[in-house]
Amino acid sequence: MSPQPLTVRLGHYRLFGRLAFTFLLLCSILFGAAVGLLFVYGISLPQIQELETYRPDVISQIYADNGERIGTFALERRVLVTYQQIPEILRNAVIATEDRHFEENWGIDIPRILEAAWVDLREGRAAEGASTLTMQLARMLFLTPQKTIHRKIEEALLSLQIERHYTKQQIFTMYCNQVYLGDGNYGFEAASEFYFGKHVWQLTLPEAAMLTAMIKGPGYYSPTLHPERTLRRRNLVLRLMWEDGKLSRQRMEEAQKQPLGLRVKYPQDDIAPYFVEEVRQRLEKRFGPTAAYTEGLRVYTTLDPKMQRAAQRAVDDGLHAYERRHGWRGHLTNILTEHLGTIRSYQADDWKRPLKKDEYVTALVTAVGPRDARLRIKSDYALLTPPEFAWTQFRSPEQFLKVGDLVQVQIVGLRGHEAQVTLQQRPRAEGALVSIDNATGAIRALVGGYSFARSKFDRATQAHRPVGSSFKIYLYSTALEQGWTPFDNIADSPFTIMSGGHPYSPHNYDYKFLGDIPLWEALADSRNVAAVRLASKVGLGNVIAMARRFGINDPLPDYYPLVLGAADLTLLQQTSAYTVFPNGGVRVQPHFIQRVTTYDGALIYEAHPKIYDVLSPRVAHTMTAMLERVIKSGTGTAAQALGRPCAGKTGTTRNWTDAWFLGFTPSLTAGVWVGYDNDALSLGHGEQGAEAALPIWLEYMQGALKGTPVEQFAGVTPISKMAAQQAVTNSPQNDSSSQPQQPQQPPAPTTR
C-alpha cells in the first residue's frame, strides 16, 4: 500500500487540532462557569465559621425541689447529646439509611448522585434523593427546604466547607441534635424521651430503627398518626442495616417482628401547670424570652411534688363535692349529634395519659338500659349502676343519659380492662390553693384553677377577690399591739357609725347579738358587729397600716366594711400574710425559684428572699392562740380532723360569692379560695368558708403532712391556759383591795 498523500495527513492534523481546541475551549468555558458559579453562590453563603459558636435552641428544664422535672420551655424541643452518648445501633441505622458512604465521602457522594439520577430518569420523577448527611445538615442549619437548583448548589458548597472544618464525629453529632423527628421534637434525645420515655443511649434496635425511619418524613411516618406506615418504614431501615452488614439476618428478622412499642410521654407539664406558668413569666421578666426559650436554662424551683399532688387532688375533690351538693345539671356533649366521631373511633383528649385510681376522666356512654349504663374510657369499659349516680336523684340512667354522651367519672378501681367508676360532672365553680413553707417563704404547692386546659387564668396569683372575715387578722393584730388582750370585752350589740360619709350599721352572719364578749370569742365566732366596733376604737387607718406591714399591696378602701373583708386581695398575698403568726412575727418573702443555672451548669441566679419584721413575738403568739381557738370552738372546727396543732380563719363574702380558709401548722401555711370567675354568681346559700373551702384545706394538709412528725407551736400559750393564768392573777388572794370581773372561760368545742 502506498503511503497517504501529505495533504491527507495534514488534513487529519488540522481536524485533530480543531477538535482539541474545541475541547479545551469547552473545558475553559465550563471551568469559567464553575468558577463563576462558585463565586456567585459562594459570596452569598453563610459563614461556616458561625458553627464555631453555634448552639441550637435547647429546652429549658424546670425542676421541683426533689429534682423531678415538672416542665419545659422551648421554641424547639431539643436536648443535646454528645457523640459518645449516641449508641452504635443508632449510628449504624442512620448511616445505612441516609448516607451509606458517610465515613468515606467528602460531603458529596458522586456515585450516589449518578445512581439517583439514573433512578430518576428511569422512573420519570424525583424518586430518589442523593443528599449526604452533611448536605442534610447544611440544609437544616443554613438553608430552606425549597427544592431548587440554586439551593442544591449552595447545599453542596456548604457541605464541602463543613467537611473541611469539622470531623465526621462532630458532623454526625450536630446532625443527631438538629434533625426534626415529629411532634415538635428536634434531635434524637428529645424524640427518644417523647416516643419511648427513655434516653437515646437506652434505645433498643427496633426503637433506634423507628426513629431513623422518621427522618425521611416526620409527618408522613409519624408513629402516633400513621403507625402501620411507620412500621413498614422501620422494617425497611432494618433491612438496609442488614444489607450494609450491620446486622445478621436473624437479628434483623427478630427486630422486624417487634411492635413499635410506643410509650409516648406528652409534655403536658400537668403536675403543676399554673406553678410552671408563673415560673415562665418570672424567667421572661428576669432573663428575657430569648434566654427562657432557647438557651437551655436549668431552673430549680421550690415546688414539693408530693404536696402539689395533694393540693391538686384536694381542689378537684372539693369542687366535685360542691357540684354534687347542687345536683345534676345535664347539658352534656353528645359526639353523635355534634358529629365528633363514632362510638368506636372517638378519643378524648384526657385519654392520652395512663388511667390512674381516683382520677377524674372523660367517659363515653356506649349503651343505656333501665338499670345501668355502659361506658368506654380509652379501651377500658365501666358499668354505671344506681349507687354510682344516686346523688343525681335519678333512678334510671335512661332518665338523664343517652348513647354518645360524654360524662365525667372518677376512677375508684381498675381490674384488667374493667374500671369501677362513680359519676361526676365537670365543675363550673373554680378553686385555688397556695401553700408556703413558713420558715423559708418557699411556695410548696400552687393550684390556680380546676383545669389549666380550660383556663390559663391563675386564681392564686392573678385573681383579686374580696377576702371576707379572713381580713380580721389585721384588725385584731392592731388591737393586741395597742395593748388589748384576748380577754378584754367588746360589745356585740347593734350600733351605727359613719363610714364614707354615710351611716353604716353592720350585722352578724346569724343576725343575732351576744352582748359583751371577749376578743378571742369575737374572732373565733367571726362576729362582724364586734369587729367594726373594735375598728372604731383602734382606728381604721391603723388597721390599714398593719395590713401593709403584712405585705398587702392592693388598694384598701378607707371605710369600715374593709375590716369585714371588703378588700380585693390575691390568695398568694393573703396566704403569705398568715405565715407571720407561726413565724413569731416574721414574714419571709414568698418565692417560686431557688436557683437558675445555664445549660453548662453555671449559676446565674439564686434566691435570697427578703425578711420582714411585722409583729412582736408576743403579739404573734397571742394571735396564734386566738386563731387556734377558731379551730377548737369557732367557725373552723372541722379542721380538728387534722389531728395536730393548727390555727386559721374562715372567710365568706356577701351573697356567698367567695369562700376562703387560711390556716397553718408550725411549719406550713395554706390558703384556699372557692368561687366563680364571674363575681356576680353566688356559690349558693350556706356555701361559706367552712363548707366550701375548709374541706379542701383539710384534705390538702392531711396529704401534705402525712408521715411527718407532729409539731407544737413554740412559745404559744393556749387561750384556755391564758384564761386560767389571768384568773389566778386577778383572784381575791392576789388583790384584796378589789374584786375584778372574772375572765370569761372558753366554752367546750362545738360544731359549726
Whether 469 sits among the annotated catalytic residues: the reply is yes
713 HSE (CA, 13 A, CB side): 29
487 DSSP assignment = T
Three-class SS of residue 497?
A: strand
Three-class SS of residue 730?
A: coil
Would you state the pLDDT for residue 573? 97
Q: 737 to each of 730, 732, 740, how far by Cα in Å? A: 11, 8, 10
Helix, strand counts (H, E) of the chain: 22, 25
Would you state the pLDDT for residue 113? 62
Residue 498: which H helix or E strand, with range?
strand 497-499
Contact assessment for residue 665 and residue 714, using Cβ atoms and an 8 Å cutoff: no
Side chain identity at 104, as an amino acid letter?
Answer: E
Per residue in 335-344, pLDDT (tens digit) is 999 999 999 9
Strand partners, 647: 664
Q: Grid coordinates 448552639 are at which residue?
A: 55
Q: Which of 98, 154, 189, 277 is catalytic?
A: 98
Which residues of the chain carry a pLDDT beneath 70? 1-55, 107, 109-130, 143-153, 266-269, 728-752
Three-class SS of residue 559?
A: coil
Beta strand 418-424 with 406-415: parallel, antiparallel or unpaired?
A: antiparallel
Contact assessment for residue 190 and residue 69, using Cβ atoms and an 8 Å cutoff: no
Q: Which of 131, 159, 435, 469 is catalytic?
A: 469
Rg of the Cα trace of the chain? 37
Contact assessment for residue 383 and residue 375, using Cβ atoms and an 8 Å cutoff: yes
The grid coordinates listed for 68 are: 423531678
d(CA 16, CA 19): 5
Would you state the pLDDT for residue 24? 63
173-208 b/e (C-beta count within 10 Å ≥ 16 → b)? bbbbbbbbbbbbbbbbbbbbbbbbeeebeebebbbb
The alpha-helical segments, DSSP class H, found in 44-148 are 88-98, 110-123, 133-142
Contact assessment for residue 516 and residue 534, using Cβ atoms and an 8 Å cutoff: no
Query: What sign has the CA pseudo-torsion 106, 108, 114, 118?
Result: positive
Beta strand 60-63 with 77-78: parallel, antiparallel or unpaired?
A: unpaired
d(CA 143, CA 518): 79
The grid coordinates listed for 690 are: 367552712
Q: At what angle do helices 205-213 and 188-196 cross, to 10 degrees?
A: 120
Would you state the pLDDT for residue 105? 79
Q: Where are the chain's structural domains?
A: 76-256, 273-424, 470-566
Q: 76-256: which CATH topology?
A: Penicillin binding protein transpeptidase fold (1.10.3810)
Q: Grid coordinates 436554662 are at which residue?
A: 297
Would you state the pLDDT for residue 46? 58
Would you state the pLDDT for residue 339? 92
Give the chain's length.
Answer: 752
Q: Which long-range contacts (CB under 8 A, 24 or more apart) does 412-415 make?
A: 412/357, 412/358, 413/357, 414/355, 414/357, 414/380
d(CA 465, CA 461): 11
Angle (nearest 5°) at CA 638 between 674 and 745: 125
CATH number for 470-566: choose from 3.40.710.10, 3.40.640.10, 3.90.220.20, 3.40.50.300. 3.40.710.10
Q: Grid coordinates 457522594 are at which residue?
A: 109
Sequence-ordered list of residues with C-beta below 8 angstroms from that of 88, at least 6 positions apart, any chain: none
Would you state the pLDDT for residue 160? 80
φ, ψ at 603 (rounded to 5°): -75, 125
Query: What sign has the CA pseudo-torsion 226, 227, 233, 237?
Result: positive
Q: Grid coordinates 446532625 are at which residue?
A: 175
Superfamily (CATH) of domain 273-424: Nucleic acid-binding proteins (2.40.50.140)
d(CA 651, CA 243): 74
